[in-house]
Chain A
Amino acid sequence: MINTLIQGILLGGYYAVIACGLSFMFSVMRIINLAHGSLAVAAAYGLWLLAAKAGIPPFAGLLIVLPVMAVLGWLLQRFILERSARGGTLLPILTTFGLSIVIDNQLFEQFGADTRSLAPFIGNLSYASWQLPGHIFVGKLAVMMMVTAVFILGGLQFFLRRFALGRAIRATAEDPDTAGLVGIDARRVNAVATAITMVTIGIAGAFLGMRATFSPYAGGPQLLFAFETAVIGGAGSLWGTLAGGIVLGLAQSLGAQLHPQGFLIGGHAVFLLVLFVRLSRLGMPQLDKLGAFLNFRARLRSPT
């Protein structure tokens, strides 16, 4: 039982990493990117390709994949998101959904239906573990993901507070027009924010590939996990994302103990439960003012 809890909590690290990009983008540009999961899977394939065909191990491969992701983020913002965001709130949903279909099927076309994994290229890291008292084994990779999650979330927060560009992002998220009046180029800021988001997506893709297998159509589930984490994380700070990831990880691990299909059911059930409790407590449809995405927005607004 304690083992289940520990594994569930550590799984939360992965969910925090993949969710942080989704909420960061929403907080800055008010766009929920439906291609989020597909992009993470594409990054995992990129690392797999480098490892299997060019012999570059995944951790070195990140030095190539992450800059590529950042550039792709810049292009994505300039050529797709920027244009679709001008057409109101519905259009970015449709556009990014179309994009996800293209990415998923393109991956299928290139790599076929076989599931892949990065595990063979990282030595024994995928199964190595430390033994704790009471026959509990803690995976080294799982701990690494948790540490990375804390590092990314903390780093992002530090960046938003201490750097001029971070402050520009906060200002744009708050009110792009007014930010423009004081000389902040919203287009540039949004492109930078998308690039940062894509780097976190790349890291999430690497972890996805190292801890499990992935296939061309794995993007949908990853998007759902990221979204659930962000919503469960709820109000407060960036750390809400981490908390959300841990709750989701726990719900899935406990669900898996009850039933073979319980892993996914547990996660979805907790998500709907949290949503239901929130909305019923709130009374009326001000989801805008709460929840998931408040995460970042609250942080962005706090005057510290």
Chain B
Amino acid sequence: MTFVSNGISIERWTKSSRVALGSMAAVLILLIFAPAVLGAGAIDRMTALFIYVILAAMWNALAGFGGLVSVGQQVFFGLGAYFTIRLADAGLDPFVSIFAAAIVTGALSIPLSLFMLRLKGGEFAIGMWVVAELAHLLVNLDRLIQGETGTSLISLNVYDSGTRRATIYWLALASMAALLGALFMLMRSRAGAAMQAIRDNEEAATSVGVRVIATKRLLFVLAAFGIAIAGGLWLATATTFQPKTYFSVQWTAYMIFMVLVGGIGKFEGAILGAILFFVIETFFGAAGVWYLIGLGATALIFSLYLPRGLWGEIERRFDFQLLPVGYRLKLPGPTKIKWKE
């Protein structure tokens, strides 16, 4: 808490946020021991949840904090899985491959950002979709992948199924924690302030000297890297790689749903959205097409009537922040301003 002048202070942490961060750390530590307690099915589901949280947080970083709505984020999901296969085929350990593949994908996103980031609004959104389609088609040309037939991450077979399941679980947990931590630190840093300035008003941010393109690029590359990890982890749980599945626009639809419902531009919103999506999927996923119609309709309704999402509403009603990334100006008590007479 920094005191600015008599009674007025700037807050970066509130009491509730300290408690929240502490309990989140405690939950993460408890989750480490889950494979010793829970059954195989439950562990697989938990792994899926961690992957959803990564996807939601990364899409939210790009759209919510950077103002860049992309409908082509499945390109990084697909490339993450594809490069994992490729590197594992070249003899690298499959688990190491997941992270090496994410680095390759992140590196590829740098030249891509050079011209995609110059597009605005819907042009960027659909432009990314075209990039995803092109990447899908090019991956299909690889002989190893055999077109839409796909291939498997065969080298995972050296691990027995128990070890494999637990390892993937821990990797997903660690990736989620690391990516959320990195994003949180980033948002609270100078770059984070720049990002939120860009989100709120790009022209104004430019005029006070924020390096708009460089800041957006940082988010673009982080999101590419994070989503590629998610793709690699998903591949490890599913073992088979079919390009059509991994480069499907449905992944982006899921990301949009999670973030819109949870609260776009809210750090806690993406996490809440992912948990909700996970619960809805668990109960209604079997409803097939109606489930998808429901997701689309919910996204549509939230964007029209509740654009702040659930977390945004909670925050507004109760003035409540768990993981604050911004600055709050706190005025002393019921403000009495003395006017000079």
What is the bound-complex CA distance between A108 and B300, given in angstroms? 19
Question: In the assembled complex, which residues on chain B have CB atoms less than 8 Å from the CB atom of A259?
Answer: 141
Query: How many A-B contacts at CB < 8 Å in the complex?
Result: 126
Expressed in whole angstroms, the minimum distance between the Cβ of A134 and any Cβ of chain B is 33
Q: How many residues of B contact A (CB 8 A)?
A: 43
- A280 touches B (CB below 8 Å): yes
**Contact indicator A89/B304 (Cβ below 8 Å):** no
**Contact indicator B293/A105 (Cβ below 8 Å):** yes
**Contact indicator A31/B122 (Cβ below 8 Å):** yes
**Contact indicator B297/A109 (Cβ below 8 Å):** no
Q: Which of A80, A83, A285, A291 has the most CB of B within 10 A?
A: A285
- A279 touches B (CB below 8 Å): yes
What is the bound-complex CA distance between A285 and B213, given in angstroms? 9
Instruction: Decide: A95 near B303, CB < 8 A? Known: A102-B296, A105-B293, A285-B118.
Output: yes
Instruction: Decide: A265 near B138, CB < 8 A? Known: A90-B121, A109-B290.
Output: yes
Expressed in whole angstroms, the minimum distance between the Cβ of B108 and any Cβ of chain A is 14
Expressed in whole angstroms, the minimum distance between the Cβ of B335 and any Cβ of chain A is 31
Expressed in whole angstroms, the minimum distance between the Cβ of A129 and any Cβ of chain B is 30
Question: In the assembled complex, which residues on chain B have CB atoms less than 8 Å from the CB atom of A84?
Answer: 303-304
**Contact indicator B130/A90 (Cβ below 8 Å):** no
Question: In the assembled complex, which residues on chain B have CB atoms less than 8 Å from the CB atom of A275?
Answer: 115, 119, 127
**Contact indicator A32/B131 (Cβ below 8 Å):** no
- A213 touches B (CB below 8 Å): no
Task: Tell me the nearest residue of chain A to B300, going by C-beta.
Answer: A98
Task: Tell me the nearest residue of chain B to A83, going by C-beta.
Answer: B304
Q: Which of B122, B138, B140 contacts A34 (CB 8 A)?
A: B122
What is the bound-complex CA distance between A105 and B213, given in angstroms? 37
Question: In the assembled complex, which residues on chain A have CB atoms less than 8 Å from the CB atom of B249?
Answer: 220
Give the contact stretch, choosing among A57-65, A114-122, A159-167, A266-274: A266-274
- A99 touches B (CB below 8 Å): yes
- B126 touches A (CB below 8 Å): yes
What is the bound-complex CA distance between A17 and B120, given in angstroms? 24
- A87 touches B (CB below 8 Å): yes
Question: In the assembled complex, which residues on chain B have CB atoms less than 8 Å from the CB atom of A144?
Answer: none
What is the bound-complex CA distance between A301 and B125, given in angstroms? 26
**Contact indicator A272/B134 (Cβ below 8 Å):** yes
Expressed in whole angstroms, the minimum distance between the Cβ of B129 and any Cβ of chain A is 6
**Contact indicator B133/A228 (Cβ below 8 Å):** no
Q: Which of A31, A101, A109, A285 has the most CB of B within 10 A?
A: A101
- A212 touches B (CB below 8 Å): no
- A147 touches B (CB below 8 Å): no
What is the bound-complex CA distance between A292 and B121, given in angstroms? 14
- Would you call the interface of chain A mostly helix, strand, loop, or mixed? helix
- B56 touches A (CB below 8 Å): no
Q: Which of B120, B137, B256, B295 has the most CB of A within 10 A?
A: B137
What is the bound-complex CA distance between A275 and B130, given in angstroms? 12
Question: In the assembled complex, which residues on chain A have CB atoms less than 8 Å from the CB atom of B67?
Answer: 90
Question: In the assembled complex, which residues on chain A have CB atoms less than 8 Å from the CB atom of B71?
Answer: 34, 93, 97
Expressed in whole angstroms, the minimum distance between the Cβ of A60 and any Cβ of chain B is 31
**Contact indicator A98/B297 (Cβ below 8 Å):** yes
Expressed in whole angstroms, the minimum distance between the Cβ of B121 and any Cβ of chain A is 5
What is the bound-complex CA distance between A259 and B129, given in angstroms? 22
Expressed in whole angstroms, the minimum distance between the Cβ of A197 and any Cβ of chain B is 15
What is the bound-complex CA distance between A228 and B253, given in angstroms? 21
Expressed in whole angstroms, the minimum distance between the Cβ of B158 and any Cβ of chain A is 34
Q: Which of A83, A93, A268 contacts B121 (CB 8 A)?
A: A93
**Contact indicator B304/A224 (Cβ below 8 Å):** no
Question: In the assembled complex, which residues on chain A have CB atoms less than 8 Å from the CB atom of B123?
Answer: 32, 231, 287, 291-292
What is the bound-complex CA distance between A109 and B294, given in angstroms? 12
**Contact indicator A264/B307 (Cβ below 8 Å):** no
**Contact indicator A279/B293 (Cβ below 8 Å):** no
- B289 touches A (CB below 8 Å): yes
Question: In the assembled complex, which residues on chain B have CB atoms less than 8 Å from the CB atom of A220?
Answer: 129, 249
**Contact indicator A272/B131 (Cβ below 8 Å):** yes
Instruction: Decide: A265 near B134, CB < 8 A? Known: A94-B303, A287-B119.
Output: yes
- A141 touches B (CB below 8 Å): no
Question: In the assembled complex, which residues on chain B have CB atoms less than 8 Å from the CB atom of A280?
Answer: 115
What is the bound-complex CA distance between A227 and B117, given in angstroms? 17
* 9 tightest A-B CB contacts, nearest first: A32-B122, A101-B296, A98-B300, A98-B299, A102-B296, A268-B134, A285-B118, A105-B292, A94-B303
Can you show 19 pairs from A to B with CB atoms below 8 A apart?
A32-B121, A32-B122, A32-B125, A93-B69, A93-B122, A94-B69, A94-B256, A95-B303, A98-B303, A100-B296, A102-B296, A109-B290, A220-B129, A227-B127, A228-B130, A231-B123, A271-B130, A280-B115, A285-B117
